[in-house]
Each structure stands twice: as structure tokens, then as C-alpha cells.
Amino acid sequence: MTDSNTAQLPVLLKGLHDRLVSELGIARTVVAHPGTKGGLSEDCWIAMLRNHLPARYQVSKAFVVDSKDRCSDQIDIVIHDRQYSPFVLNLNSALYVPAESIYAVFEVKQEMSGDEIQYAADKVASVRRLHRTSLPIPHAGGTYPAKPPQHIIGGLLCLRSGWSPPFGGPFELAVANVAEQGRLELGCAAEHGVYEIDYSSTEPPRIVRHTNSGPLAFFLLRLIARLQNMATVPCLDVMAYAQWLDR
């Protein structure tokens, strides 16, 4: 008999995983057109993150811009601030988000491979190389000093891994060979597990593999934990962007 006073967390978390895996699998199996298939997969991941991340985080497909008039590649999933970021430019289907507001960026692919890891790393690097401003923050007792721009989380999200085992030698080689600005610290192959990479402690980087049941739910919880550790994005210099109005 089930205790009515328990939340049944194992069932709830496994249900979250099963639902998204089913949606991703349908997109992969039923939709033939690669572009449409990719768009549906991105929508599934975005919907999951929007539904389960705290409200302070916005989840979008977007370009990232900086105050020096530079722009990233279009990124499948951008997790950015809307509480303290004063503007986001939405031009029909093209969304532009200031670099200072970014917490994390992810690329979405059907299957994890060496080529897709390099592709995702290049996309992540196009965001991390952007300039980010930071201003002191006035408060009732004085002024907090300007906060240094924090590290932006980067990763790759897939339905499955193309390798067997999913995160074995070929995966290790692929993630070790990406350039520093494109490092992919956190990612998920929904059918196989979650990976986390610590590039700072050892050479080659230390890889932690999570292959427990319900990897999508585990990925979501690990992402939230990382976002909590980052606290709030810096206070951006709005007038650094306003200078372009006089050009």
C-alpha cells in the first residue's frame, strides 16, 4: 500500500524523464525533414527548462550581443536573466540578448558524436568571447563593487549518444580536444545519461558520468544546482549599448 503522505519523488522524477524522452523520440522517428526535426527537439528541451527552472531564469533560442557591436552565432538554448537585465530585443523570430545576462548556453542535437561536440563547442565559444560590462551597484548602505563577469556554462543536449559505451574513450577524446572558450561542462544524452566535466583540476579533464535512471531529471537538478552557485549576473552598463544610437 502506498503511503498517502509521501510525494512519490522517484515516480515523479522518472515520469518527467519518460515524458521528454518520448517527445524527443517521436520527433526523431516520425519527422523526416532534418530542420523540422531539429526545431521540434529544441522546442522540447526549451519547454522542459521553462517549466522547471526558477522564474528568474528565461530560456530562449537567441543570438547574444555585446556593447561593442559583436554578435554570437544563433544558440539553440540560452538561459538568461530577466529580473536584472533591462532589455532583450525581439525582432519577430530573432531574439537578441545582452551578453551580460547570460548564465548558460546549450546546443541541441539528435545524436552525440565527435563532430557535434566540436560544433557545439564553436557555438559556445562564440558567446564566451563577447565583451561583458559590469557596474557598481548602489544600495541603502553604500555601493557594492562591480561584479566580475562569471563563467558561462556550456553544453550539448542530445536524445542519445552515438558511441558504445556512451561516454567512453571517443567521448573523452572529443571533449578534451575542444578549445578553452568552447569547453562543454555539462550535458545530457537523454537515453544514456548525464556528463559533467571539470577542466580545471587535471589534464586530461576529469569526467563524471551519471548513468542512473531518469537522466533528464538528474540533468535538470544538476543544472539548477550550478545556477544556484552562480548567484546573480552583473549589473550591465546600459549606456555602453546606447552609444550606438549616435552612429
Of the residues 23, 42, 107, 185, only one is catalytic, namely 107
Bond into 204 cis (ω within 30) = yes
Of the residues 76, 81, 100, 116, only one is catalytic, namely 76
- In the chain, domain spans: 10-136+147-242
Q: Could you confirm whether 237 is annotated as catalytic?
A: no
Mean pLDDT of 204-226: 88
Contact 81, 58 (CB under 8 A): yes
Mean pLDDT of 76-101: 86
Mean pLDDT of 93-106: 93
The string of pLDDT tens digits covering residues 125-161 is: 999 999 999 998 887 888 889 889 899 999 999 989 9
Q: Can you give the pLDDT at residue 68? A: 95
Distance CA 77, CA 58 (A): 10
- Helices H, strands E: what count in the chain? 6, 11
Percent of the chain with pLDDT over 70: 89
Contact 76, 100 (CB under 8 A): no
At residue 38 the predicted structure's pLDDT band, cuts being 50, 70 and 90, is low
At residue 202 the predicted structure's pLDDT band, cuts being 50, 70 and 90, is low
At residue 82 the predicted structure's pLDDT band, cuts being 50, 70 and 90, is confident
Q: Could you confirm whether 69 is annotated as catalytic?
A: no
Q: Can you give the pLDDT at residue 15? A: 76
Percent of the chain with pLDDT over 90: 53
At residue 201 the predicted structure's pLDDT band, cuts being 50, 70 and 90, is low
Distance CA 102, CA 79 (A): 6
Of the residues 109, 116, 123, 185, only one is catalytic, namely 109
Cα 1-14-165 angle, rounded to 5 deg: 130
- What cell does 113 get? 558524436
Name the pTM for this structure: 0.89
Three-state secondary structure call for residue 228: helix
Q: Could you confirm whether 180 is annotated as catalytic?
A: no
Distance CA 236, CA 59 (A): 19
Which residues pair with residue 157 across a beta bridge?
Answer: 108, 188
**Any idea what DSSP says for residue 71?**
B
Total residues found in the chain within this entry: 247
For the chain, the average pLDDT equals 87
Lowest mean pLDDT, pick from 39-43, 123-127, 166-170, 191-195? 39-43
Q: Can you give the pLDDT at residue 137? A: 83
**Any idea what DSSP says for residue 136?**
-
Mean pLDDT of 207-232: 89
Cα 239-241-243 angle, rounded to 5 deg: 70
